[in-house]
A and B are shown apart, each in its own frame.
Chain A
Amino acid sequence: MADCPECGRAIEKSNLIEGEIFPCPDCGLELEVTAVEPFRVDTAPREAEDWGE
């Protein structure tokens, strides 16, 4: 079990795998599974465009 870093909702490990992105069931924030043992989630990376090299 881990907590959503935004709203604190308890997240169950279920069948999630490391690197998987999923929305928090309560607040909808995109979360990423950062570790499986022990189970940890964090906010998923943002995605953006940039004109640089």
Chain B
Amino acid sequence: MDDVEVLRALVEEYSPSGHEQRAVGRFSDLAIELGFDVRTDEVGNAIARIGRGSPRIVFLGHIDTVEGVLPVRLEGDRLHGRGTCDAKGALASALVVASRHSSAGEILIIGAVGEERDSRGTRHLIQHLARPDFLIVGEPSGWDAVTIGYKGNLSLVVRVQGERAHLASPEPTTVEKGLGFLEELRRFCETKRGGTSFDSVAMKVHSIRSTNEGGPEAVELGLNFRLPPGLAAPEILGFLDRFPEPISYEVLDQSGAVQVAPRNEVVRALCAGIRDQGRRPTLLRKLGTSDLNLAVPAWQCPAAAYGPGDSHLDHTERESIAISDFLRGIAVLRVAFSRLATASLAASPTTALAVP
């Protein structure tokens, strides 16, 4: 089976979050065929291991995708299909590179479950898997770039309560109170503006629903905040707690921003691989969130996120990956794994930085 066939086999198993079992089985079969020892843990993560001893390199990919079947087809240089970019391209490239590992150390290639929903796979791993010496999170950075930071995330539903009033009355309606609340929240966010988008809080309203049960009324606002380094979710929640209007809220998900040291051993190994392909590397700070946000604070090891593919195609109907980029990603990871396998552990124990 050649490298592209490995990618195609993973993509052909449609695996939205919560329904990853068949894809985990396919991943496991492929990994066994490629020479790995494979196990599935209690929550369904697939863990493929090759090599023995130190250092321990973990490639933390995810096997789930967002929902939405896309026909898998190869057109010219592009493979189309759900998960090609986010993030089976990264997972497949790491799997084929590690299958040729023959030097010192152990490499784990993990297909985690649930990343697109609640990261239940990685939440389990950071509790039960020993701290790696080096960590690469498999997400599409583009084959010639390395991701060194992600913003944090706070997702919540706010409920603004009120009483039905006559529309001719001077009192604002509950909907108007909800809209006023949003304006106050936007003003609060403006006070948290930094020099760049990465350093600023961003708020999005993704749903508004009003209900009326006779007299009592409510407006439910679906909100998402992308948090910069230095701004933790409790600061936003503290603002909500102090708001004078009768509101309540439910937090659906939260994680802090993360930045790794831009010259840590993992970043340098990936940059070496990119330079080996004749390209000047780019270090990215992303406005989205990934499992790096959970793994770095837990494991405190040198880390970065990497994978071929254009992340702007994630979650879209145009999701696809250029085969040439996939193959360059393999070449980059080959250099990176080789460097990390022979890296001095003493030189890089504290080079990862998590921001609360």
The residues of A with any CB-CB pair to B shorter than 8 Å are 18-21, 32, 34, 42-43, 45-53
Are B140 and A42 neighbours in the complex by a CB distance under 8 Å? no
Per the 8 Å Cβ criterion, residues 258-292 of B in contact with A are 262-263, 268, 271-272, 275, 280-290
Pairs of residues from A and B, 6 with the lowest C-beta to C-beta distance, nearest first: A52-B311, A53-B288, A19-B263, A45-B281, A51-B287, A46-B282
Q: How far is the CB of B196 from chain A (nearest CB, A)?
A: 6
Q: Given A19-B263, A19-B268, A34-B272, are A49 and B285 also a contact pair (CB < 8 Å)?
A: yes
Name A42's contact: one of B275, B287, B288 (CB within 8 Å): B275
Chief secondary structure at chain A's binding surface: strand
Are A51 and B263 neighbours in the complex by a CB distance under 8 Å? no
Q: Given A19-B263, A19-B268, A45-B271, are A53 and B283 also a contact pair (CB < 8 Å)?
A: no
Name A53's contact: one of B139, B263, B280 (CB within 8 Å): B139
Are A48 and B275 neighbours in the complex by a CB distance under 8 Å? no
| C-alpha spacing A34/B268, complex, angstroms | 8
Nearest chain A residue, comparing its CB with the CB of B290: A53
Q: How far is the CB of A18 from chain B (nearest CB, A)?
A: 8
Are B283 and A52 neighbours in the complex by a CB distance under 8 Å? no
With a cutoff of 8 Å between Cβ atoms, the chain A residues found around residue B86 in the complex are 53
Some 6 contacts from A to B, beta carbons below 8 A apart, are A48-B145, A48-B283, A50-B311, A52-B140, A52-B314, A53-B289
| C-alpha spacing A4/B300, complex, angstroms | 35
Name B287's contact: one of A20, A43, A47, A50 (CB within 8 Å): A50
| C-alpha spacing A21/B283, complex, angstroms | 14
With a cutoff of 8 Å between Cβ atoms, the chain B residues found around residue A43 in the complex are 280
With a cutoff of 8 Å between Cβ atoms, the chain A residues found around residue B197 in the complex are 49, 51
B19 within 8 A of A: no
| Other 17 A-B pairs with CB < 8 A, given A45-B280, A49-B196 | A19-B263, A34-B272, A45-B281, A45-B282, A45-B283, A47-B262, A47-B284, A47-B285, A48-B284, A49-B198, A49-B284, A49-B285, A49-B287, A52-B287, A52-B314, A53-B289, A53-B290
